[in-house]
Amino acid sequence: MFNVGQCGLTIWAPNINIFRDPRWGRGQETPGEDPMVASAYSIQFVRGLQSGNWMKEHEIRNEVLEEDNGMGSLMVSACCKHFTAYDLEKWNNFTRYTFDSVVTEQDLGDTYQPPFRSCIQQGKASCLMCSYNAVNGVPACANPDLLKKARNDWGLKGYITSDCDAVATVYEYQKYTDTPEDAIADVLKAGMDINCGTFMLRGTKSAIDQGKVREEELDSALINLFSVQARLGFFDGNPREGKFGELGAQDVCTAQHKTLALEAARQGIVLLKNENKFLPLDKNAISSLTVIGSLANDSSKLLGGYAGVPCSPMSLVEGFQEYAETIFFASGCLDVPCASDNRFEDAILIAKKADFVIAVAGLDASQETEDLDRVSLLLPGKQMDLVSSVASVSKKPIILVLIGGGPLDISFAKKDSRVASILWIGNPGEAGGKALAEVIFGDYNPGGRLPVTWYPQSFTNVPMNDMHMRPNPSRGYPGRTYRFYTGDRIYGFGEGLSYTSFKYRLLSAPKKVNLLGKAETSRRRIIPQVRDGVNMSYMEVEEVESCDLLRFEVKLSVSNIGEFDGSHVVMMFSEFPKVLTGTPQRQLIGFDRLYVKRNQSAESSIMVDPCNHVSLADEYGKRVIPLGDHTISLGDLEHVISIQVF
C-alpha cells in the first residue's frame, strides 16, 4: 500500500487499552478486559507489523529475540495506544478531552500498565501514543512520570506521539496551562516528540522565542523521530530498490490473505447457548431459511471501526446461500437503533414460512464508536421485541446471532426456550458471512471464548468515570472485569461452547517453586503479614534473584470425548494466596488453542513466569509474589503449587 501511494509506514495501532467498562465505544478495537491477553496480543501485533514475524507463545515467554535491542530495521512502525487509563469517550458530562482518570497505583500496576510495558519491552514497539485524558490530575501527554517510565524504565526506542489534538486539549479543554506556549513546553519536557494536529505547528516558534522550549528538547524529539524514519529505510535511496520494493497491489487481496481473514472469523465466533444440541443444522435436510435483521444483509456492518477496504465482502445472507435453496429475508427494523416496529409484520410473516429462522441483532457505529459510549447494555430500540416476536411464530426454536464489539444483556434470550442457540460473532470482517454459515451448518466447530464479561443492564448504574478495578462493598461498588467483579453476570469472561466435549489431564507441573532473594537485600526481601493469626508473606519481584530461572512448564493433555472434531482454547488460571488487600479472585496466566479430532488427544505446554504471571501489584504499584499455595486451574482440574523462599 505504501509503494502505490496509499499508506504511510507509521501505523498507529494496536489499541491495547483494557476494556474496563462494557459501555465503552472503542472497546471493539481492543483484545478485551484481561491484561495478560492484551499483553500477549500487543507483542504479536507489534512484532508482526514491524518485522513480519509472529512468535509462538513459548518463544515470547522465553524472549528468544532478547538480543534485539529495539533499534533494528523496520518493515512498518507500530504504535501502542492510548497511554494510559483511557477508556471513556462521552458519558454524562464527562468527555475524553477533559476527563481526569483518577487511578490507584495498584490498579495502574496490575491492570492499566502491563499491556504497554509488554508492548514496549517484548514487542519492541517503535512508537507510543499518549492519550487525551489526564491521569491523577496531569494530562497524559504532559506527564513526565508516565512518559519517562516508558522510555527509561521500559526501554522505548522510538517516538512518542500525541493523540490527535491532544496537546491542544492540554490548554483549551483541560486548562492545565495558562498559555498555548506553556502547553507546548510541558509536553516536550515530559518526553512527547510529535503532535498529531496543528497546535504545535502554530505555536512552537513562539514558545522558543519566549524561552520556554530549549534547543536540546527539540533535538531530543527530532532524534527520536528521525531514528524511526531511518529504521524504516527512508534514507536508503529509492524504496523500490529496497527489501520490500517489489510489493504492490498484487500482494494485497491474495488467496492466502483471504484464507487468513476467513480463519480469523471462524476462530472468533463464540457459541453461547445450544439447547438440546440444536446446532449444527443438517445442511442436507434444509430447503428454506428465514434470516431477519437489518444487520444481516449489509456486509459493511461486519467490519467495525477503523476497517480497511475489504477484498471480497459478503453479508450474512450471502453466506447462507451456499446451504439453503430458498432464503427469505426481512430487515424487521429500519436500522440498528430500531425506533419503530412498523416492519415487524413482514418479518413475522416470513418467519412462519421457513424450516429454520436466524435472527441477527446487535450493534453498529450508531451505538458504539470513537467519541460515543453506550448508555444501555440492552439490544437497541425494539430489537429485543423483534427477536421475541419472531421466536413466538417460528415452527422451531430460532438461532440468535449477535454482532458488535460490546457486551449485551440478552438475558431474555438466554432464558427463552424458543431461542435454541446464541452465537456472538463480534465484528468478524469480510469473511464473517461465510464463517458463520460454516459454523451453523457444521462445517466448522466453534471454539471462540468471550474476551469480556457480559454484565446485566443494572451495571449501567455504576459510574463510568470510576476507574477503580477492585470492589468496594461499603459504597456498593461491585468492581470490574472477571478478576474483581462481584455482581451477577449474563456470561463470563472465557465462556464459549463447542459441538463436542473436552477433558483435561495434567501431565506435569511442579508442586513447589523456591524463590531466591538477592543477597544484598536479603534482610528485607520477605514482607510478613499476619491475618487471622496466620503469618503470611510475600517477596517483591525486584528483590528476586534470576526471575528467568524460575520459569516452569505446565504440561497437559486435552482429549476430545465428543462427536465432532474441533479446536479448543485452553485457559489456565491462578488463584493466589490472599496475602494482599485487593487480590484478584483469579487471574489468567496462560492459554493455547489446540485442534483435537474426536476420540483423540493433543498435548499442550504452557510456560509460566512466576515474576510476571503469579505476581500482583501492592498498594504502591510494586509487583510482589505472594508466598504460599497457588491454585492452578484448567477447567475443573486443579493443581496446587507452593511458592516459598529458598
Query: What would the pLDDT profile of 508-553 be if each residue is shown by its tens digit?
Result: 999 999 998 875 554 455 666 555 544 458 999 999 999 999 999 9
Residue 453: count of CB within 10 angstroms of its CB: 25
pLDDT of residue 66: 45
Q: Is 371 exposed, middle or buried (0-12, 13-18, 19+ CB in 10 A)?
A: exposed
pLDDT of residue 517: 83
The identity of residue 325, as a single letter, is E
pLDDT of residue 646: 76
Residue 366: count of CB within 10 angstroms of its CB: 11
Spans of all domains in the chain: 10-54+74-232, 254-448, 502-645
pLDDT of residue 243: 87
C-alpha cell of residue 569: 482454547
The sign of the CA dihedral 581, 584, 586, 592 is negative
Q: Is 63 exposed, middle or buried (0-12, 13-18, 19+ CB in 10 A)?
A: middle
Residue 302 backbone phi and psi in degrees, to 5: -90, -5
Q: Give the separation between CA 184 and CA 206, rounded to whole angstroms.
A: 10
The identity of residue 469, as a single letter, is M
Q: Which long-range contacts (CB under 8 A, 24 or more apart) does 45-49 make?
A: 45/13, 45/14, 45/78, 45/123, 46/14, 46/78, 46/80, 46/119, 46/123, 46/124, 46/125, 47/123, 47/124, 49/11, 49/13, 49/75, 49/76, 49/77, 49/78
Residue 175: count of CB within 10 angstroms of its CB: 10
Q: Which residues are designated catalytic?
A: 163
**What superfamily in CATH does domain 254-448 come from?**
Glycoside hydrolase family 3 C-terminal domain (3.40.50.1700)
Give per-10-residue mean pLDDT for the chain (646 aa).
92 98 98 97 96 59 51 95 97 97 98 98 98 98 98 98 98 98 98 97 97 97 98 91 91 96 98 98 94 97 93 97 96 98 97 97 97 98 98 98 98 98 98 98 98 98 98 97 98 98 97 83 55 68 93 98 97 95 96 97 97 94 95 96 91
Closest to 196 in 3D by CA, of 120, 116, 132: 132
Give the fold, CATH level 3, of 502-645.
Immunoglobulin-like (2.60.40)
Residue 171 backbone phi and psi in degrees, to 5: -95, -45
The β-bridge partners of 395 are none
Q: Give the separation between CA 496 and CA 449, rounded to whole angstroms.
A: 5
How far CA 389 is from CA of 17, 288, 407, 570, in Å, comes to 38, 20, 23, 38
3-state secondary structure 293-354: CCCCCCHHHHCCCCCCCCCCCCCHHHHHCCCCCEEEEECCCCCCCCCCCCCHHHHHHHHCCC
CATH for the 10-54+74-232 domain, from 3.20.20.120, 3.30.420.40, 3.20.20.300, 3.30.1540.10: 3.20.20.300
Residue 36: count of CB within 10 angstroms of its CB: 18
Closest to 107 in 3D by CA, of 579, 506, 627, 617: 617
- What is the chain's length? 646
Identify the residue whose cell numbers are 465466533: 269
pLDDT of residue 68: 56
